[in-house]
Chains A and B, each alone.
Chain A
Amino acid sequence: MDFQPSETRRMLADSITRTLAKQCDYERRRAVAYEEPFHDPALWDALAELGVTGALLGEDKGGFGGEGFDIATVFEAMGGALCPEPMLGQLMGLSVLADAGADCEAALAGEERLALAMGEPGGGSGLEPPETRARQADGGWRLDGRKSVVWGGGSAHRLIVSAAHESGMGLFSVRAEDAAVAPYAMIDGGGAAEVSLDDCPAECLIADGQAALDRAVARGQLALCAEAVGVMDHVQGLLAEYLRTRKQFGVPLSKFQVLRHRLIDLCVELEQARSITLKAADALDRAEGTRAVSMAKALVGQAARQWSEEAIQLHGGIGMTWEAPVSHYAKRLVMIDHQLGDSLWHLERVAEAYKAA
């Protein structure tokens, strides 16, 4: 048994962290994450240069990572700096391209940005079967429908779109300029888009796409867990520092037992979140991967809410302000539970195993 990250992954994490410290500090992040294009193309290029995009696929697909631990390494490091780069879409998009046997070179190099257009309007979980329709016409494919809250949709060059057709659910490639893409900022920063597809030309990547979509989504769910761990880890530092330095009633807040104990309760939850994320990373490509990922997403979602609310509460009014970095970290922690199934959705999936065979 060995819980140490490999030398290569440790070096990748360090170099991401160093780059983000320079190019995605609090000020810069605040300026970038809420203004179009809701990320920093120069930072995107710098991360690609470091090998972040390349780490998202295995060697057999032209990358140099692709395992659960590679994904976790990248997203945990990005979470620590609240990096708004649309890497989640890249991860899931690359997973589909690789499964389709399509050319991944430009996306692996970060020259082409991908977004997975899966969710649709109506306020569902975003994981329901699509109502967007695909049909064959003039030797190609045409799509009709609307995709909703497509993370990174505004800055993507190519959209990977799920759509129903005569014989099932397929995954399609759409050039961004062929669709009507309306980008906007999210409440926790970073961009998403509403995508309208109106007789939109598309290329079919995989006609029977469910298995590939499930794999891509599982990768995304793991990434979000790791990101949350990175965010919580950073907030731990902010919170400890605040309790040590903020004085009320003539003493630092860290002298108040009730506050000390609450910080420690949070730290216990963080270590639990770290552990279940390791389990999910380890199991990702095995049969038990789906359930392990759901266990992680369920636990992390709850830990993240607790961290978010307590981080704000223990900071008092300061934690409620846009100016304080902690508020943006707190928002991200809550909103991670709005992506790819919330903790209740995942608990339900974990509980499915209790049904008698």
Chain B
Amino acid sequence: MSNDDDLILKVRHLSKTFDKHVALRDVSFDLKRADTLGVVGESGSGKTTLARCILRAIDPDVGGTVEFNSEQIGWVSLSSLRHNELVPLRKEMQMVFQDPYSSLNPRMTVRQIIEEPLIIHHEGNSNERLERVREMLDLVQLSQDSLTRYPHAFSGGQRQRIGIARALILNPNLVVCDETVSALDVSVQAQIINLLEDLQKTLHLTYIFVAHDLAVVRHICNNVLVMHNGVVVERGDVDHVFDHPQRNYTKLLLSAIPSPDPDIRMDPKNRDILEQPEPVVNGYGLVEGPVWHGDHGLLFSDVIFGGVYAVNESKEVNPVFEHRRGIGGMAIHAEDGMVVSGKNVSFKRFGESESILLLDRDPDNGNVGYNDLTTDAAGRIYVGSLGSSPVFDDGLEPRAGNLYVIDLDGKSRVVAEDVQLTNGLGFSPNGRTLYHSDSRRGQIYRYEVGRNGDLKPREVFHEFETGAPDGLAVAEDGSIWVANAGAGGVAVLEPDGSQHAFISIPVPMCTSVCFGGSGLRTLYIVSGSNGVEGDRNGGVYRYEADVSGLPLTPARVQIPAP
């Protein structure tokens, strides 16, 4: 458990699946006490599901956690409590609903409605409860003669005040407002917003404000989560996100707001922008080896100018370590480091400069270096070797490369031969099929995986007519996402070998792909320059995929003592 005292809520990896539909996917965030967090997105984006999972109005999928900093008992994991254990905590977290008409029982008086939470939680005797109800009426600025009246006698704004009084009578710390002001006229909306803001100051409330009205969210929230298809696509300070939206979806949402100034013409973006990758960073020689790391973000190498970098979701780039040019493939290693391939395959611990050799080159065996690598579910490393070739101008007899596996004990063996130019590697979701690009032949091979990681003889899975297959990644649904060097984009292949989509990037040299971001829903696409030596047009793009990537198991290959 945490001791972050200024936080009230820590949400980690929260997901919710209804039947087979994933309504919420891997949402994580922290919420500070007395903050107001906006949650925006279209209908069906998962905003309300998120709010309900946090309050355990519905149970999230197993695996996600919601930690709540309770005033009574400190940090507690809401997601693992039984329903009867939650009851005392419910006093500290309450919800105000959208529709002031349907959320109040028409057959109860205002007194009964506001008082009911006290009765449920066995608080006070009748006189004390009435006193509290009277206080609440004052707090939400309703007259005392409202007590004996029924909801139908009130306007929408007044009913919303009744709903707020009912939510606040137990002195909650966390209040979830689900479209609380959406159904109200602008003037009444202003009154309720002011009321919520005043109550926040006097009662030190923390709000989660679910709303589709972005102007309202901007006005009252400090931070915002932008949701699309159950995933948080963008987050941060509300002014920053609204003034400098990074994701295409946020841009689409913001561009659709009609400005109240007739001189600012609405220019709504077409939904097609969701189909286009957006640039993340640029200025590298040739970006390769992309791999997602939960803390660092996207790790990538520059083949031409050397170095390994990390770029986070806010597009900030940090160098991870220096390295000579030529890293073609990277994977995460379970021992807080990375496996990188180039002239050889080696291990590098994060924060240390030393390289520990895992697999050396072997020119006599048709091996002048290594290219892309991947890991299987056990943590073995699969890496292809580059055979000598006139391209490399190394004076050696031209010959093909091999595919190696490095077992957990650190020993390596050849599992496939005759690879002209090895490239992307990736396992199918069940781990029984390995896909492998051979760029010079323009083919993707498919191997059936035997016991101990051995490979059966390959077959050609897909052949490209234009460009050459480069790095690849596999998604949860089994689709294979292949960077096409030369054709300037990513081909999406079905497990039967058919191509069902192509995602274009603005440069032809598309070198590799990997899934990352929240829920592995973001496809990162990396590129090289336009073939001119010394150019720095290589960069990283990202694309909101309609499917999650398959998580890659970190390598667990034994690291030899240095």
Q: Do A and B come from one complex?
A: no
Residues of A within 8 A of B (CB): none
